[in-house]
Amino acid sequence: MTLAEEFKSRNFSIYGQWTGVLCIFLCFALGVANIFNFNIIILFSIICLVCSFIIIFIEIPLLLRICPTSSTFDTFIRRFETNYMRAAIYFVMSLIQWLSLVTRHTTSLIAAAVVLLIAAAFYLAAGIKGQAFQGSKTLGGQGVAQMII
């Protein structure tokens, strides 16, 4: 299945997965950009950086097979194989970034919060519509990950 065919499939989990890939880059870039604030925002930027690395392993399953990780970490990441669990983790990550507004310092971390919330909405929509989670073949989904074993 090509990338265009994946987007035409109208499976919201594919949309969520690609929005998650966008979140990887956005969270990493905004985490680095905001880490130079010398106030409480530094905490939220570090959390944003950590979230980007967690999302990498959630959205690109091929990396769990080729990167040396602990069994505890693998078990943690494998919890997020369903649409509802992915929606929950993205919602929590988004909520944490929205809480950065409490510091009264509005930063670009709000962009990460919005995109994380959009990814959560896509996964929630897939869960509500009863669509089974379908990983993108381009990102190392079912077909690619099986060939590496």
Q: With contact defined as beta carbons under 8 Å apart, do 16 and 126 qualify?
A: yes
Residue 67 is assigned to a structural domain of this protein: yes
Residue 12 is assigned to a structural domain of this protein: no
The Cα 47–Cα 49 span in angstroms is 5
Query: Rounded mean pLDDT of 71-93?
Result: 90
Residue 7 is assigned to a structural domain of this protein: no
Number of domains in the chain: 1
Q: With contact defined as beta carbons under 8 Å apart, do 15 and 121 qualify?
A: no
pLDDT tens profile 123-139? 999 999 887 777 666 65
Question: Which pLDDT value is given to residue 92?
Answer: 95
Residue 1 is assigned to a structural domain of this protein: no
C-alpha torsion angle, residues 16, 18, 20, 24 (rounded to 10): 180
pTM reported for the whole predicted model: 0.84
Distance of CA 110 to the CA centre of its chain: 16
Residue 2 is assigned to a structural domain of this protein: no
Residue 9 is assigned to a structural domain of this protein: no
Containing structural domain, residue 135: 20-148
pLDDT tens profile 85-123? 999 999 999 999 999 888 887 888 899 999 999 999 999
Residue 14 is assigned to a structural domain of this protein: no
Mean of pLDDT over the chain: 83
Residue 3 is assigned to a structural domain of this protein: no
